[in-house]
Structure 1
Amino acid sequence: MSSTTDTSRSILREVGGADNVADLTYCATRLRFQLHDRSKVDLHALESIPSVLGVVPQGGAGVQVVMGGGVADFYNVIAKEPGMGDTDTTPAKKEYGGVRGKYEWINYCFEFLSDTFRPVLWALLGASLIITMLVLADTFGWQDFRAPMEDQPDGYVLLHAMWRSVFYFLPIMIGATASRKLGANEWVGAAIPAALLTPEFLSLGAAEDVVHIFGLPLVLNDYSSQVFPPLIAAVGLYWVEKGLKKIIPSAVHMVFVPFFSLLIMIPATAFIFGPFGIGIGNGISNFLEWTNDLSPFILAIVIPLLYPFLVPLGLHWPLNAIMVQNLATLGYDFIQGPMGAWNFACFGVVAGVFFVSLKEKNKAMRQVSFGGLMAGLLGGISEPSLYGVLLRFKKTYFRLLPGCLVGGIVIGFFDVKANAFVFTSLLTIPAMDPWGGYALGIAAAFATSFLLTVVLDYRGRDEKAEILAQLEAERIAAGEEEDARIAEADAVAAGTAAGTAGGADAAPVKPALRPGVVTVVTAPLEGEVLALSETPDAAFAGGALGNGVCIDPMGDTVFAPADGTILTVQKTGHAVGLRLDSGIELLIHIGIDTVKMAGEGFEVLVEKKQKVTAGTPLVRFDRAAIEAAGYSPLTPVVVVNTQKFGTVDGMPAPVAAPGDDIITVTAKAPTVDAAAAS
């Protein structure tokens, strides 16, 4: 079974199963679930799935699962799972899936724009890379990108047709997606702007000409590449269809609703909605152009500083429409260049996270950051980085915004403009003018955010402590699995040597794991024994790493509480993990955040895989040095394999010496054999 299939089924299970899914769609990077009951979703379990880059609850019933560029593969598997055929496949209802502001109609407007443009993203991305190929050809002098088609070789004419098909017919795509979002018929929504692109309509005259149709003046416009006219037409179609369905018998809806919708909406769009939409687009574009003419430098700084707040809310899509509008009316765009500063500052943060994850051997964040980095650098898509990293850790924006500022200043200095609509990646640098100034700007943005992330880290103090503690626990668990495999191999070898017919007997169950057995763990160091909840660290206090106690140390040495094996010991000396011969695994973490002391004040006395006996000194430490460095000396002692036992209970005490009881571990109750019982 493929990992894609396994991951897809895990995602479906954690969102509550097929019965809980009302609707499932996907965009460039995310699975978009609408659920019957979102309380059934296990968000923590979803985020723990290795291929999941992030989870974003949306509205009251929505959940977005960020998967990266391969999202379609996961969608296809989930859509074929049993029970998924019962999900709603009708056009989307007029409901918004996110919280944007105080007024619901404003919320829905932004959601409408976002969901209209998302499905078109694939075609736009493909077209932008074809444009990049042609711009590169222009840069190397192979052809003139802006030359008339009749002056270009046939091969380049075909390449131009490839990308222009997306932009020329963009109104049709927008008409379809906007209508679907509103709940109107998407194919009728596509047919309305398509009528304004037909040879028959174009034969009426040139743009800005006025012709008379049945005595009524019609202002002609070039509707190719326009986005506002189809958006407005889709809204009109929604109300027209709604009215027609009330007065036309349901038995003939299929015939007469689309007939009258086209009969009403195509002329209405040609006479009213189309010119009005072009006026809106030109007005916004002219205002931004005026601002750019007033001070391109200021605009270049403002744009990248706004994008980190616009993108998470989906509010950046209207600016994409303006970019297309600028190219259609001005022949260039002044937003995409500064936007590149935000994108590459974002990618710089993620590259810094990848670098830190390599040092920490943090496999999960290494995978998330690398996937986001590749999607960004090669595709210009920021969502995997945004949802996988930036919105998960509270310090990341303080690393991101300086990069946006520095990149915006450089790009503003060179007054960068885009010659075509492209996604800002490494591959599309030649589409900018001057491309050298743009390359310098995005490099400055990337480097600034990267260095800040590497030097200052991307996590808050609590976040980092929790992650490092989890990594410690994972290393202990990995050590247990490795030793178990060795023991199994030894047992098999011993059985073979003895000539046993049935192979080796099952490995003996560790004493503490035998059903009903109660085992007591003794103190590994002298001090006051506190409840684990009093630990000044969220991960330990909440029991995320296992149950146990916290010790306020009075001595300076950690001892082995019983016979066992060292599973892991940090070079810095601040933590040691061991598996007792009873089967209990302990993590002893000396102080909180003491990893930052880099070993100062600690002396390691044992090594990994070393066999130790009760009372063996493991680590010496200097409490005064810990406190002088500003860290808490409280030492969590936790049973990291708590889930294997029935109960693990701490025993607080005013003072305990090494060898005194501090934790009671009770094995799970024996299971009752139903057959024997009967």
Structure 2
Amino acid sequence: MATSPAADIVSAVGGAGNIESLTHCATRLRFQLRDASGVDQKAVEAIPGVMGAVPQAGDRFQVVIGGGVQNVYNDIMALPGLTGGGGAVDEDDIDSIKARERAKGVRGQVAWIDGLFEFLSDSFRPILGALLGASFFITFMALMATLNVIPDWNAPGVTLEPSWAFVNLMWQCIFVFLPLMVAYNATKKVGADPWVGFGVMAVLMLPGFSALKAEATPQQVFGSEVFIVPIFGFPLTIFDYSSQVFPPLLMAAVMGPLYKLLRRIITANLQLIFVPFFAMLIMIPLTAFILGPIGVYVGAWLAQALAAINNFSPFIFAIIIPLAYPFMVPLGLHWPINAIMLLNIQTLGYDFIQGPMGAWNFACFGATAGVLVLSLRHRDTQMRQTATGALAAGLLGGISEPSLYGIHLRFKRIYPRMLVGCFIGGLTIGLGSLILGLPNGVTTQAFVFTSLLTIPAFDPIGLYTIAIALAFFTSMFLVIWSNFRTPEQQAEFEAVRDAAEAKAAAEHVKPAAIEEAEGRAFDASDRPATAAAAAAAATAPAPTAVLDRLAIDVRAPLEGKVVPLSEVPDPVFAGGVMGPGVAIEPTGDTVHSPGPGTIAAAQPTGHAFGIVLDGGLEILIHVGIDTVNLKGEGFDVKVKNGDRVETGTPLVKFDRAVIEKAGYPLVTPVIVLNADDFGKVSPEAEGDVKPGDSLLWVEPKDA
């Protein structure tokens, strides 16, 4: 089965799991690997499209691609295990972003805590789609009640006509049987048979189990009505386990170790029958008598604790929740809160957390909208695609993860602006609750995802709408006003973007003298009578069919002494990996254009320039070795990406003293990047040269 060069490169460096981060410069992929000791340099260099490989210290590894590095980088980032195509992440994939955020706190440093939150996350994540779908049915029912089409569908004692009762069942099917879904996922997470976990929890939800309370006296515990009946002399507490999530989580947490124990003590040929049997024999009574009630009581206690805070001051609660969520979600701390929301609805008939949480979500979506506006303004195609998808997922689905992991955690300027939006939204809910005399703040009678479509589920709808709108537009305008990139990041992005646009323009530009160029026929072994004649023929760009029959004279870009590439103290240039050419030991301090053409890449640091000469020849001028580390110090750049230049146009002036003091060689390679598209590349000069002298002669490719 054929594979792509991108997949071959990833495989050759040890697979996606061995890649800690990946960046790229104008010509090279720069890998930070977890372990570079096993990478076979020759195998990497044998991959089609790879021009060379350079192992470096500290598990760093460079793969030289040339001018097409951006395309290869995008292909790699689209591979499974890295990122999705439209939202490729520049330095970290989503998993590494999550890991980095976890490492900031106790999670990622204490194994059992990390395992706990992974357990919670994996118990809920697979059913989010079902919960989201059900939340839309709930919102629809709430909207119908608001419009007086149906009575208050969720109020006690209300009976709906059969048609609307059937619609109501569409969401109840998810929430009534939620404990079974959680039990399945949680048991699977701990390595036990998920269907056994499902069966154990199902016992507590059978109509016959609930019927056991007929002879018992109801009691109130943490706001929940419970019934206790004697079973073989032991007290069995009967609950309505619908929508409960803590009991199945506790059940799965105990079943995991039990399953491992049973597999150790029961021989392999009997495990299929007796491991599930003994697991059910032990776990059904244990869950019914002990774990189930503990789960109900713990959940009720947590819910009551949060309710007490909200009852004490809905104003403070409304501000704390949206300000806390941006930090809770990356750490996975929001999963227990989701469980408490469900419990609130079951025990109280409403939830008071989701309203303030909506302020956080819409502040998050507003920041994404600001990024989308800037990406359109900056002609940032990749970010536009990422932000569009994330904004759609947020506004229509109430899902924050695409925004959070795809954008916000990658650009640290966003978080402070988003927090202002969170504060404004929470403050609005808090003040509104005080003014309107709402003892519980903004509430909802159902578990919903806070999106545009679920606004009707909140009460009062007006206060909630104003709060989320303020949160959204505050974050949006702050991001637009201040940008989500730092000035350095913006300059780097514009350099890459302008280079790509300039190259595309150069490849499609039409010549001014096609007819004259077509009249000149060159064989691969012939030259025009003079270099001036060839330069004149190449003054205007020509289409590919004509370029194949033209030769190009590359002029010296600076004053100095010509030396062979083999003397350049860099293995990539010295080995000709980037392409053929020569180098110049400069005696001057200004780099000029080696011919008429377009600037394809003018690095903000001034250390390197890519030029597409008229005729399609791609030239790289690299001023010094490792001078990128100076970060622009000592370089005065004269051009920008997309500029039209003529022979001798100044590109950059550099301060020799700064470079020499830093200890970097000044030798400047002049490389033909796309030599494969042409014929022989021959040096034209030896010894001293001045700007404008013939330096390289590039012959046309054989027909």
Q: Same fold (TM over 0.5)?
A: yes
- Per-residue CA shift, 1:272-301, capped at 9, x if unaligned? 000000111011101000000111111111
| Shift in CA distance, 282/12, structure 1 to aligned 2, threshold 3 Å | farther
Contact 1:179 1:237 survives alignment (8 Å)? yes
Matched-pair contact (CA < 8 Å) for 1:473–1:640: no
Change beyond 3 A, Cα 1:620–1:429:
same
Partner-residue secondary structure (3-state), 1:204: helix
Say if 1:260 and 1:603 are closer, same or farther in 2 by CA, change over 3 A: closer
1:102 aligned to 2:139? no
- DSSP 3-state at the match of 2:467: helix
Q: 1:548/1:270 Cα in 2 relative to 1: closer, same or farther (>3 Å)?
A: farther
Residue among 127, 132, 143 paired with 2:139: 132
C-alpha displacement of 1:657: 8.0
Provide the rounded CA distance (Å) in 2 between the counterparts of 1:112 and 1:244: 21
Q: Is the 8 A contact 1:511 1:583 kept in 2?
A: no
1:377 to 389, 395, 400: 395
Among candidates 173, 176, 185, match of residue 184 of structure 2:
176
Shift of 1:149: 7.7
Task: Name 1:241's counterpart in structure 2.
Answer: 259
Residues of 2 paired with 1:400 and 1:638: CA distance? 46
Distance 1:386 1:58 in 2: 12
Q: 1:185 to 1:565 in 2, by over 3 A?
A: closer
Please say if 1:411 is aligned against 2:444: no
How far apart in 2 are the matches of 1:15 and 1:607? 31
5 Å matches for 1:235-634?
Answer: 235-414=253-432, 415-483=441-509, 507-508=547-548, 521-523=556-558, 560-564=593-597, 579-581=612-614, 583-585=616-618, 613-615=646-648
Matched letter for residue 427 of structure 1:
L
1:346–1:400 Cα contact (<8 Å) kept: yes
1:355 deviates by 0.6
Query: Contact 1:14–1:46 (CA<8 Å) still a contact in 2?
Result: no
Distance 2:317 2:556 in 1: 65
When structure 1 is superposed on structure 2, of 346-355 and 407-416 the one drifting more is 407-416
Paired letter, 1:183:
G
> Please, which moves more after superposition, 146-155 or 425-434?
146-155
Q: CA–CA distance in 2 between the matches of 1:639 and 1:316? A: 56
Question: 1:373-428 deviations in whole A, cap 9, x for unaligned?
Answer: 11111111111111111011121112211111111111222321122100110000
Distance 1:522 1:240, change over 3 A: same
* Unpaired segments ≥5 residues, structure 1: 1-5, 23-35, 65-95, 496-503, 513-517, 525-542, 570-574, 593-600, 624-636, 649-655, 672-678
Deviations 1:168-220 (A, max 9, x none): 10000000100111111100111111111111111112651211111211111
Q: How far is the alpha carbon of 1:160 from its aligned partner?
A: 1.3
Superposition pairs of residues 203-218 of structure 1, within 5 angstroms: 203-205=211-213, 207-218=225-236
2: distance between equivalents of 1:141 and 1:587? 71
For 1:195, which of 178, 199, 203 is the aligned residue? 203
Provide the C-alpha distance between the structure 1 equivalents of 2:651 and 2:673, rounded to a whole number of angstroms.
24
Deviation of 1:452 (Å): 0.8
Distance 1:450 1:316, change over 3 A: same
Q: How far, CA to CA, are the matches of 2:587 and 2:209 in structure 1?
A: 83
Report how far residue 128 of structure 1 moved: 0.6
1:440-473 Cα offsets, whole Å, 9 max, x none, are: 1111111111111111000112211111111111
**Residues 586, 244 of structure 1: alpha-carbon distance in 2 compared, 3 angstrom cutoff:** same
Q: Percent identity over the alignment? A: 43
Cα distance in 2 for partners of 1:408, 1:548 equals 62
1:320-362 Cα shifts (integer Å, max 9, x gaps): 1111111111111111111111111111111111111111111
SS in 1 for 2:213: coil
Verify the 8 A CA contact 1:568 1:609 in the aligned structure 2. Answer: no
Question: Which residue identity does 2:597 align to in structure 1?
Answer: G
CA distance 1:203–1:608, change in 2 (3 Å): closer
Alpha-carbon distance, 1:554 to partner: 8.4
Partner of 1:70: none
Scaled by the length of structure 2, the TM-score of the pair is 0.66
- Taking the aligned partners of 1:552 and 1:158, their CA distance within structure 2 comes to 86
Using structure 1 for the length normalisation, give the TM-score.
Answer: 0.68
Residue 240 of structure 1 deviates from its aligned partner by: 2.1
2:167 paired residue among 155, 159, 169: 159
Q: Deviations over 1:465-498 (max 9, x none)?
A: 1111111111122123324xx68xx89x989xxx
For 2:254, give the aligned amino acid: G
Q: In 1, are the aligned partners of 2:87 and 2:385 still within 8 Å (CA)?
A: no
- How far apart, CA to CA, are the structure 1 residues paired with 2:468 and 2:586? 50
Closer, same or farther: CA 481–292 of 1 in aligned 2, 3 Å: same
Q: Give, in angstroms, the shift of residue 563 of structure 1.
A: 2.9
Let me know the Cα RMSD of the aligned residues.
Answer: 4.8
In 2, Cα distance between equivalents of 1:643 and 1:464? 28
| Counterpart secondary structure, 2:93 | strand
Q: Contact (CA 8 Å) 1:586, 1:640: kept in 2 or not?
A: yes
Q: How many residues align?
A: 537
Query: In the alignment, which residue of structure 1 is the partner of 2:77?
Result: 46
Q: 1:666: how far off? A: 11
Q: Is the 8 A contact 1:53 1:384 kept in 2?
A: no
> 1:377 corresponds to which letter in structure 2?
L
Letter in 1 for 2:473: A
Aligned partners of 2:646, 2:261: CA distance in 1, in Å? 84
Partner of residue 47, structure 2: none
Cα shift at 1:248:
2.0
CA gap of 1:63–1:457, structure 2 versus 1, over 3 A, is closer
Q: State the Cα deviation string for residues 513-553 of structure 1 (Å, max 9, x = none).
A: xxxxx9564149xxxxxxxxxxxxxxxxxx9xxx9999999
- Secondary structure, counterpart of 2:212 in structure 1: coil
Q: Greater Rg, structure 1 or structure 2?
A: 2
Residue in structure 2 matched with residue 221 of structure 1 by the alignment: 239
Structure-2 separation of matches of 1:469 and 1:151: 65
Per-residue displacement from partner, 1:21-46 (whole Å, max 9, x unpaired)? 89xxxxxxxxxxxxx99979999831
The residue identity in structure 1 corresponding to 2:93 is V
Give SS of 1:275's match.
helix
Query: SS of the counterpart of 2:484?
Result: coil
Cα deviation for residue 609 of structure 1 reads: 9.4
SS of the residue aligned with 1:209?
Answer: strand
What is the SS of the residue equivalent to 1:217? Answer: strand
